[in-house]
Amino acid sequence: METAGEPGGFLITLPYGSRADWVQNGLAAGQAVITAGGETVNVDRAEILSTAEVADQLPASEQRLLKLFNVEQILQVRRSEP
């Protein structure tokens, strides 16, 4: 699983799809705590997007990997206050 920083949040690839337990738990809770780049961040407003919707926000190398492994969904989360 990779995270890509974006203004105000993160894009998290979903190689196992949106039905993975950790994804469902985060969506149900409405918030989560993630660690990215050694920083612990509170996030909320999770939204599952198609990879195509956010492809322009990802490096070309990441786009190629996502296509190669047929990763079709990305979880977008926004930074929130603790």
Q: Where are the domains of the chain?
A: 3-79
- pLDDT band of residue 50 (cuts 50, 70, 90) is very high
So what's the pLDDT on residue 37? 83
- State the virtual CA torsion across 64, 68, 69, 74 in degrees, nearest 10: 30
Q: Is the pLDDT of residue 1 over 60?
A: no
pTM for this predicted structure: 0.85
Q: How confident is the model at residue 2 (pLDDT cuts 50, 70, 90)?
A: very low
Quote the pLDDT of residue 4: 58
How high is the pLDDT of residue 3?
52
